[in-house]
Amino acid sequence: MTKLKLQITPIQQWLPKAKRPIVISGPCSAESEKQVLSTAVALAKTGKVDALRAGIWKPRTRPNSFEGMGEPALKWLKDAGNATGLPVTTEVANAQHVDLALKYGIDILWIGARTTVNPFSVQEIADALKGVDIPVMVKNPVNPDLQLWIGALERINQAGITKIAAIHRGFSSFEKSPFRNSPKWELPIELKTLCPDLPIICDPSHIAGNRELLSFISQKALDLAMDGIMVEAHIHPQTAMSDADQQITPERLAVILGDLVVRESVSKNSEFKNQLDQLRKIIDELDEEIVQKLSSRMKIAEKIGAYKRDQNVTILQVKRWEEISNRWLALAQALGLNDEFTKKLLQLIHKESIRMQTGVMNSELAG
Ligand code: PEP
Ligand code: MN
């Protein structure tokens, strides 16, 4: 796996007061000067919020819904930032938004999920940001495409923006699920693996789509070593002009944050470290054995392939494969392995085995 080469300024340098978890909060949309200010003041009062968010231009699925208050709301947001001493952030979707946000002194920008899907739009924003020193957070694209997310981060980074972060807000999906946007945790995990220095902020509000799942998602994000959360909060959530179902009061946010358990990636407890080291050694040895055994299995499959070729027998032997599957599944079940996992692993091994055998057949044809 090749690591990503992004130039990253640590987030502690652009949100200097922030401790893990970094908390960004504010309404889905700025609706009025009073709503923005009263929400901001109540959020600041919790003492747990590091930056204020508010949408100024709202990407809506259908026309004639509330599309944000536009330019006047930039001043409300910045004034709320000044009143509370907190940096402010908003979504930009084109070069004009960038120019206006800069004009009003917005401190941090973010690119929304519907914009990340479009490289033309991301490039337009990147071009508008050339020579500007401002932090930019990039939400994941609506569809679960890691390359598209990475591509957007690269475009912004190549424009000279090194104060960057990713925001995980879940992915659109046809599958039935309790979430508005399926979290697909494996994507942010892979992003973190490819680029360990990149801060990742989870947006539980757009993943959940409701108030009830916010705690659960936020805790999971922290347990997966994410750096912070962006949560939508509104002084009167029920009356919100967008995303009313998922917004919470600043007081509720304080309770949720108070209940979060922040686990560190390392522990100072040496007894724990010793035990962890020992268990990791065992895992490493087991992994080595698994790889060796898989390699031996594939070598035998190759031999069988040569034998089938010489005897003019088909590679796929349905009956034999059924026998293997049933035996595996029964054993795996008895040993406490998850059925889904066993089936997926079996399919992978079978596919690779067939690929090896096909290689043997073809080498004969080529010869
Ligand atoms: C938002 O943050 O209000 C928003 C529109 O988010 P997303 O781009 O994740 O849908
Ligand atoms: Mn929203």
**How does pLDDT run across 307-340, given as a tens digit for each residue?**
888 888 888 888 888 899 999 999 999 999 999 9
Query: What's the DSSP call for residue 62?
Result: S
* Cis preceding-peptide flag for 21 (omega within 30 of 0): yes
Strand-pair category, 108-111 with 228-232 = unpaired
Query: Tokens at residue 351, please?
Result: 């596919």
Ligand having the closest approach to the CA of 58:
1
Ligand having the closest approach to the CA of 243:
2
Q: What percent of the chain has pLDDT over 90?
A: 76
Count of residues in the chain: 367
What is the distance between the alpha carbons of residues 220 and 359, in angstroms, rounded to a whole number?
A: 44
What is the distance between the alpha carbons of residues 144 and 225, in angstroms, rounded to a whole number?
A: 20
Q: Which residue has the higher pLDDT, 272 or 80?
A: 80
Q: Looking at the predicted structure, is the pLDDT value of residue 44 above 80? A: yes
Q: Which residue has the higher pLDDT, 265 or 68?
A: 68
The neighbourhood of ligand 2, an ion, using CB within 5 A, equals 28, 243
What's the pLDDT at 212? 97
Q: Looking at the predicted structure, is the pLDDT value of residue 81 above 80? A: yes
In 46-175, which residue ranges form alpha helices assigned H by DSSP?
Answer: 71-84, 95-103, 113-116, 119-128, 146-158
Cα 60 to ligand 2 centroid, rounded to whole Å: 10
Q: Looking at the predicted structure, is the pLDDT value of residue 136 above 70? A: yes
Q: Tell which residue, 102, 106, 117, 97, has the closest CA to residue 36.
A: 106
What's the pLDDT at 345? 95
Cα 112 to ligand 1 centroid, rounded to whole Å: 5
What's the pLDDT at 58? 95
Q: Looking at the predicted structure, is the pLDDT value of residue 113 above 60? A: yes
State the average pLDDT over residues 339-367.
Answer: 83
State the average pLDDT over residues 14-30.
Answer: 94
Q: Looking at the predicted structure, is the pLDDT value of residue 22 above 70? A: yes
What's the pLDDT at 3? 87
What is the distance between the alpha carbons of residues 28 and 311, in angstroms, rounded to a whole number?
A: 68
The owner of tokens 């010869």 is 367
Q: What does the pLDDT look like over 282-300, one tens digit per residue?
A: 898 899 889 989 999 999 9
What's the pLDDT at 359? 83
Q: Looking at the predicted structure, is the pLDDT value of residue 73 above 60? A: yes
Q: What percent of the chain has pLDDT over 70?
A: 98
Atom of ligand 1 nearest to the CA of 53: 2
- Using most ligand atoms within 8 A of CB, pick from 97, 203, 230, 247 the residue to mutate for ligand 1: 203
Residue owning the nearest CA to atom 4 of ligand 1: 112
This prediction's pTM: 0.81
What is the distance between the alpha carbons of residues 124 and 143, in angstroms, rounded to a whole number?
A: 21
Q: Looking at the predicted structure, is the pLDDT value of residue 197 above 90? A: yes
Question: Which architecture characterizes domain 11-259 according to CATH?
Answer: Alpha-Beta Barrel (3.20)
The model's confidence at residue 364, banded by pLDDT at 50, 70 and 90, is low
Cβ distance 149 to 191 under 8 Å?
Answer: yes
Q: Which residue has the higher pLDDT, 273 or 25?
A: 25
Measure CA of the first residue to CA of the last residue in the chain; give whole Å: 34
Q: Which helix (H) or strand (E) holds 231?
A: strand 228-232
What's the pLDDT at 321? 87
- Within 6 A (CB) of ligand 1 lie 28, 55, 59, 112-114, 139, 169, 206
State the average pLDDT over residues 140-167.
Answer: 98
In terms of phi and psi (left: phi > 0; alpha: psi -120 to 50; beta: otherwise), the region of 64 is: left
- Using most ligand atoms within 8 A of CB, pick from 57, 60, 91 the residue to mutate for ligand 1: 91
What is the distance between the alpha carbons of residues 159 and 124, in angstroms, rounded to a whole number?
A: 10
Q: Looking at the predicted structure, is the pLDDT value of residue 349 above 90? A: yes
Domain with CATH 1.20.59.10 in the chain: 270-366
Tell me if residue 309 falls in helix, strand or coil.
helix
Tell me if residue 96 falls in helix, strand or coil.
helix
Ligand having the closest approach to the CA of 91:
1
Q: Looking at the predicted structure, is the pLDDT value of residue 367 above 50? A: no
Cβ distance 195 to 37 under 8 Å?
Answer: no
Strand-pair category, 228-232 with 164-168 = unpaired
State the average pLDDT over residues 11-19.
Answer: 90
Residue owning the nearest CA to atom 9 of ligand 1: 113
Ligand having the closest approach to the CA of 140:
1
State the average pLDDT over residues 16-26.
Answer: 92
Say which residues have a Cβ less than 8 Å from residue 191's Cβ, sequence separation at least 6. 146, 149, 150, 166, 198, 200
State the average pLDDT over residues 56-80.
Answer: 94
Q: What does the pLDDT look like over 243-255, one tens digit per residue?
A: 999 999 999 999 9
Question: Which architecture characterizes domain 270-366 according to CATH?
Answer: Up-down Bundle (1.20)
What's the pLDDT at 255? 98
